[in-house]
Structure 1
Amino acid sequence: MAYSELPRLCRGDNKVENERILVTGAAGFIGSHLVDKLLIDGYEVTGIDNLSTGSIDNINHHFGKRSFRFIKGDVRDSRTVRNAVKGASVVISAAALVSGPRSIHRPLETHENNVTATLKLLEACHEVGVSKFLYISSAAVYGRARELPTSEECCPHPASPYGASKLAAENYVSVFNEVYGLDTVSLRLFNVYGPRQTSGPYGGVVSVFLDSVLKGRSPIIFGDGEQTRDFIHIKDVVEACLLAMKTDGVSGEVFNIASGQPTKISDLAKMIL
């Protein structure tokens, strides 16, 4: 279960009735699980993804359902975004170019995907009168955390272009809440793991370790393995997202979504082995 301010979110159990939810990055790891749960819960869902990193296999089991519509498009394109937002009451922004290491090699592309695209989406939401905007952010905004456990009160200090881009996008989300009155919530996800997570060079450590073991190799640990991470399962992340979407009285807030339990990388490798 996600921790931090989740008890406050748990007080809200309002269902967003008869409303269409737009999920950006719908074919990605997190976005596709959001689409699954929203459809199970009876929502109308529009998903958009340019499939640059997401996989159509993550969502093609929904094709043909009257409650699901998929748009192959890029959220960096203003016209595409405006068309996607039409008819949506809630927008969940899960599209992003993820990974700190990748962003170091591609900082401008990271900015365009994570900041410029978010700003265009916010503008479109404001123009059409979207009821709520949920932004999927990242614990990467904290960089090398100066205190553990890391609370929302800790000063962000990004250590990569990716972390900087997520923080910049968060700031735009906050501005649209303060200046334009858009109902927003930002969720800083820690180390998410679960089905559909990629195991490539920019994949999560859990999926990378699992892939190594399945291929008969030992997981590669950098350093002494004493470094810790907070891992949270994708199902708990989805639950937190839906609670944030349905809860009143949290407009403009930012929440950490994590397990609250540190795990050493060396211990993670032992669990998987």
Structure 2
Amino acid sequence: MKSIYRTPIYFLTLLLLVGCVKEIPNTSNFEPQVFISGFLTGGTEYVTVKIQQTVPVDVQSLNPINDAQISLYTKDSDGNDELLTSSFEVANGMYRSSEMITSIVGNTYWVEIVLADGTRFVSDKEALKPEIAIKDVVVTNELNRVIFADPTDDSNFYLINFLFYKNDGSLDFKINELTNDVLFNGNTAATFDSTEFLINNPHEVRVSISNLNFNSYQFYLNQFAQFENQITNAGSEEDPGQLFLPPPANLTGNIMNTTNNKKALGFFSVQSTAQFIKNF
């Protein structure tokens, strides 16, 4: 007999929740924060760093910072520090080193950033890990598999990207995945499967594996979680379920504001990246 009363009780509870939903004006003062994102990916390349200020939720445009001073440093295996470059070109908040930088596996790298008002940011010193050897890619309608050699005697964290191209060369689909090597540490034929469903058969697949430091891996995890929350929990303002949405992920990373001794938003990732291309 109890089941007879469940529907009315649940319906009454829902009505109470809907009745309690009320728009509350945002009276708090918005305080813009600096967001920094950049990376060094191994080999010989340009180093890029994006710097911008956060904006209120009702503002669609970005607020780039174009007058910062950036210095890129390295420490070698003997403990010697070296300034690699402090010359960057900037456009719309995107900074690119004026010259290509050759990085060395095993060295640590970090950036120091000074804003026009003197505020100073420093990223953690992170080691450049070795590039991962990708052996093959298998693509079916059920899974997308990459086969690679996982280094031994080290905990590794990976960002894996799949890019699927059509016959005309245009990008059809992309997948970004994160994983660690807990299940296949040291396996010379380690496999990672993405089960995203493909509608069309690709003409070309490009797979990249970035060997991350833990801090960057954790930042990407939080970033992916926030994106999934936004997509999965999107709903109307009248939906009472919006009351129970998870809070945004904390997007602080490996950068410290040394002026106020607080963690800053964003990250500077030091990661080696290998790419594998296969045609079908």
Q: TM-score, normalised by structure 2?
A: 0.25
**Structure (1/2) with the larger helix percentage:** 1
Larger Rg: 2
Q: TM-score, normalised by structure 1?
A: 0.26
